[in-house]
Amino acid sequence: MAKEIPPRQDMPRQPPKVRAANFKEVALGYSEEQALLEASRCLQCKTRPCVGGCPVEIAIPDFIKKISERDYAEAARILKEKNSLPAVCGRVCPQEDQCEKVCVLGKKGEPVAIGRLERFAADWEAMNHPSHQPSAEKRSNAKTGRVAVVGSGPSGLTLAGDLARLGHRVVIFEALHKPGGVLVYGIPEFRLPKAIVEREIEFIKSLGVEIRTDYVIGRILTIDDLFKEGFDAVYVATGAGLPKFMGIPGENLNGVYSANEYLTRSNLMKAYLFPEYKTPLKNGKKVAVVGGGNVAMDAARTALRLGADAVHLIYRRSRAEMPARIEEVENAEEEGIIFHFLVNPVRILGEVKENETGKWVRAIECIKMELGEPDESGRRSPVPVKGSEFTMPMDIVIMAIGTGANPLLSSATPDLPINKSGYIIIEPETGRTDKPGVWAGGDIVTGSATVIEAMGAGRRAARAIHEYIIKKHK
Ligand code: FAD
Ligand code: SF4
Ligand code: SF4
């Protein structure tokens, strides 16, 4: 008789009204009972299609089997063999487009909740072995080299962890005062608690990786200086953090932020605790967020938690074209974010306010859109509907329409090949650039992508750098 498969286990979450007023994590994680039920759904397929759907090829059926045997420590160990940030990926990976998309169960029903099980095992390990010491796996007998990593986001951290495990001495140079890249400055606490990122970074440090913060490469030292200091190889993982604006009138008014600045002030600089913390952030009662991706959802939900009465999300295409994860769109809707589809801003209107200097946002003027022919991305292009302009009063406007490559490092390294958008050109299988000894990966190569893709790039480059160093030291 065929195995009876229980339904996919829902993730318990804070109720919408409660969570919209706090920064605590929204999703609460599986109980042991739920994890066991969910793990029991896995068919342990011989062909293991789910493994191919994971950019770092986690042995998914194996770690799930260990969960169903209640051997959570072994499940966590299997995860960490391929993924140095499992508690992060279990929370923020777009699983529905990766491992879960190809799960056999998904063909006729609902796939195994692989990400949620990953989070369960990683959290169990953190709770039960908070000071996990990887000393036994720390150093192999490889000839050691010195590797400099520029940027401490998921790509740089993964590469650093992998090379440290192979016995190399790795130093990460980070421009900001805290390591973690977007994991700390971009993704908000209510989706990814910072204590979890810190714990995973501590694990990487425990492998012997050194992290130097407040260290901008391209200003304090150049890549060539790093070679002069004795590094054998350099991995560039500087992300794509340069905000884009629409180029409409009024974007220079006070009260207009890029999503990156808004989220960084809130997440990293604790602006919501001003004046206890030094960085201010204007708290608007009426907030507009422009964009339809995960960053727009994060900015809108942050504005709500910072005390806005109404947060309006303005997106020029329809709901079906939204690039944000469905789960995050649903979370935002439940919390009360007001969505305006097929609408695009045309200008931001300002006024002089009493006791304030300069001109401040007063309103946003938008135009209605309709969908035309598909563009080069395959999505139908939005076209303005003539004469349909309308105005909504606003105090704050947040632009979340994408980011680009920061030119700082590439302009200080003229022989590092970049494309016309400023992204570094690499050999895809290895991450090697045409500049000798320099590799690159993550968002600075692909443009804005995902945490796990950035980690996959770090893993591939680590293998290539290891081989390069072994050859060099022969
Ligand atoms: P980053 O994480 O951007 O890290 C780059 C680091 O390099 C930064 O710390 C930066 O300060 C540092 N740096 C830059 N220049 C220099 C320099 N010259 N010298 C020294 N250091 C430098 N992905 C998902 O998978 N799921 C999500 O839910 C998700 N949500 C997101 C939400 C937001 C708000 C944002 C902005 C992105 C989100 N992403 C998400 C995308 C994901 O975070 C990125 O794809 C990923 O972080 C890229 O990793 P990275 O290591 O390439 O770069
Ligand atoms: Fe799936 Fe991401 Fe975990 Fe890989 S890292 S198994 S893609 S959730
Ligand atoms: Fe389990 Fe799905 Fe992977 Fe099959 S495809 S082994 S059911 S997770």
CA–CA dist 86, 90 (Å, integer): 6
Residue 133 has pLDDT above 70, yes or no: no
Please give the CATH architecture assigned to the domain spanning 146-241+405-472: 3-Layer(bba) Sandwich (3.50)
| Atom 6, ligand 2: residue with shortest CA distance | 54
Strands (E), 79-151: 146-150
389 C-alpha to ligand 2 centroid (Å): 44
121 CA distance to ligand 2 middle (Å): 13
Domain boundaries, the chain: 16-128, 146-241+405-472, 245-402
CB–CB of 31/117 below 8 Å? Answer: no
pLDDT above 50 (res 448): yes
Residue 55 preceded by cis peptide, ω within 30: no
Ligand sitting nearest the alpha carbon of 82:
2
Quickly state the pLDDT bin for 144 (edges 50, 70, 90): confident
Mean pLDDT confidence for 224-228? 96
Q: How far is CA 162 from CA 73, 217, 390, 436, 471, in A?
A: 21, 22, 54, 21, 18
pLDDT class of 1 with cuts at 50, 70, 90: low
Phi first, then psi, for residue 172 (nearest 5°) are: -100, 130
User: Is any ligand 2 atom within 6 A of the Cβ of residue 60?
Assistant: yes
What is the predicted pLDDT for the residue at 2?
A: 64
99 within ligand 2 shell (Cβ under 6 A): yes
Mean pLDDT of 262-290: 81
- Is the pLDDT reported for residue 472 higher than 90? no
pLDDT at 377: 74
Q: What is the pTM of this model?
A: 0.91
Residue of 56, 92, 182 best suited for mutating to test ligand 1, as the one with most atoms within 8 Å of CB:
182
| pLDDT at residue 23, rounded to an integer | 87
Q: What is the mean pLDDT of the chain?
A: 91
Which residue's alpha carbon is at the smallest distance from atom 8 of ligand 2? 115
> Looking at the domain 245-402, which fold is it?
FAD/NAD(P)-binding domain (3.50.50)
DSSP letter assigned to residue 53 = T
445 closest CA partner among 456, 466, 431, 459: 431
The CA-based angle 184-185-190, given to 5 degrees, is 65
Nearest atom in ligand 3 to 43's CA: 7
3-state helix, strand, coil in the chain (%, to 5): 35, 20, 45
For domain 16-128, is the CATH number 1.10.1060.10? yes
| 260-279 average pLDDT score | 79
CA 25 – CA 267 distance, rounded (Å)? 13
Tell me which ligand sits closest to the C-alpha of residue 176.
Answer: 1
Residue 274's pLDDT band (cuts 50, 70, 90): low
- Residue 385 pLDDT: 95
Tell me how far the alpha carbon of residue 449 lies from the centroid of ligand 3, in angstroms.
Answer: 25
Q: Taking 60 as the threshold, does the pLDDT of residue 136 lie above it?
A: no
Tell me, yes or no, if the two domains 146-241+405-472 and 245-402 fold the same way: yes
User: Which of 96, 112, 118 most suits a substitution to test ligand 2, by most atoms within 8 Å of the C-beta?
Assistant: 118
Q: Which of 254, 243, 122 is nearest to 186 (CA)?
A: 243
Beta-carbon contacts of 275 under 8 Å, excluding residues fewer than 6 positions away, are none
